Amino acid sequence: MSASGSECEGVARPGTFTEDVVVPLIIVHLVAICANIMHMIMLSRMEVLKSAREYRIALYNITINDIIASVLSSLDGVQSILSRYLDPLLVNALVGMVRSPVFMKYLSLLIMVVQRYLAICKPMSYSSHPFIKRIHLVTVFFWMFSLILSCATSMLSDLYCDTDIILYTVITGSACTIITTLLALIWREMRKMESRSSSEQVIQIREAVKYLLALSLTFIACLTPLFLSYILKFSGYDASVFFVISIFTQALYSIMNIITYGLFTKAYRKELMSLFRQTNH
């Protein structure tokens, strides 16, 4: 379907939101930025993570990505207010930059789930596995892939309305499928481990698995309004309301990641209480 102008029919686009949507959205992003910076500090203080290098890297990657995504999305909100004064090429470039960490947000969760899968289900080959040995390169590759893909979809969406929607659906749908499959295998293996032992290490593994399960469910829940907007759009209905809701739920995902990790990680709650006590003295 060819686009007329820079806006497609049936769904709101970044750069077309009104001030009553943009201002609350920017506030949510600012809260997410502050919360994730605090989260980074907390992760760096946790002794239990210092011996789990790859898992720590994955947690840092998700947190840094959430900060970048919130910063760029806030800039997109400012751009929405000033869009009437911006050149269309600049609008597309900015939208492409914003979508890059959005893609990477879901790929970061995928990296973490794969890392946990190899650690729990393939412990004998874990340290020598190519994915683990090159996890830094995998992360950099996914970042580059996200940047190129987001810029390409932003440019193509000006010519073909549904290009960005189709590619976004394929990426997130594939990520959901792989994550769900791997988590089912991880959960099955964890139940076997619990039947054999109840050591502190097994308890920590269980906490990590529960966190990933909860985070993945949150991930799917936050994407649901977006997928509903796509279904309505392709069915010929106005999907703008669901699209705006999806923008807020995806912004809230950056905050829910922190809440979820705190709920399912005892060491994190303990470190948080310790920090509060030090602050009050």
Predicted confidence (pLDDT) per residue in 227-241, tens digit: 888 788 777 777 778
User: In DSSP terms, which residues pair with 96 in a beta bridge?
Assistant: none
- 12: tokens are 């709101």
Q: Supply the pLDDT for residue 99.
A: 63
The CA-atom distances, in angstroms, between 249 and each of 167, 168, 226 are: 20, 16, 9
Rounded to an integer, what distance in angstroms lies between the CA atom of residue 139 and that of residue 57? 10
> What count of Cα atoms within 13 Å lies in the side-chain half-sphere of residue 20?
0
- Average pLDDT, rounded, for the chain: 76
Question: Percent of the chain having pLDDT more than 70?
Answer: 76
Q: What is the DSSP letter of 2?
A: B
Lowest mean pLDDT among 8-17, 115-124, 174-183: 8-17
Nearest alpha carbon to residue 53 among 107, 126, 109, 124: 126
Sign of CA pseudo-dihedral 217, 239, 103, 175: positive
Is pLDDT larger for residue 268 or for residue 103?
A: 268
Rounded to an integer, what distance in angstroms lies between the CA atom of residue 132 and that of residue 255? 27
The CA-atom distances, in angstroms, between 43 and each of 115, 129, 241, 271 are: 18, 25, 37, 9
The dihedral over CA atoms of 267, 273, 276, 278, expressed in degrees to the nearest 10, equals: -80
- 11: tokens are 């769904």
Q: Is 168 exposed, middle or buried (0-12, 13-18, 19+ CB in 10 A)?
A: buried
Rounded to an integer, what distance in angstroms lies between the CA atom of residue 235 and that of residue 257? 33
pLDDT tens digits along 84-111: 666 666 666 666 666 666 677 778 888 8
Answer yes or no: are the C-beta atoms of 43 and 211 closer than 8 Å: no
3-state class of 4 per DSSP?
Answer: strand
Q: Supply the pLDDT for residue 166.
A: 73
CA-angle at 35, arms to 83 and 270, nearest 5° = 170
* Farthest-apart Cα atoms in the chain, separation: 65
Rounded to an integer, what distance in angstroms lies between the CA atom of residue 265 and that of residue 268? 5
Sign of CA pseudo-dihedral 146, 103, 125, 137: positive
Model confidence band, residue 146 (pLDDT cutoffs 50, 70, 90): confident
Answer yes or no: are the C-beta atoms of 150 and 103 closer than 8 Å: yes
> Around Cβ 90, how many Cβ atoms within 10 Å?
12
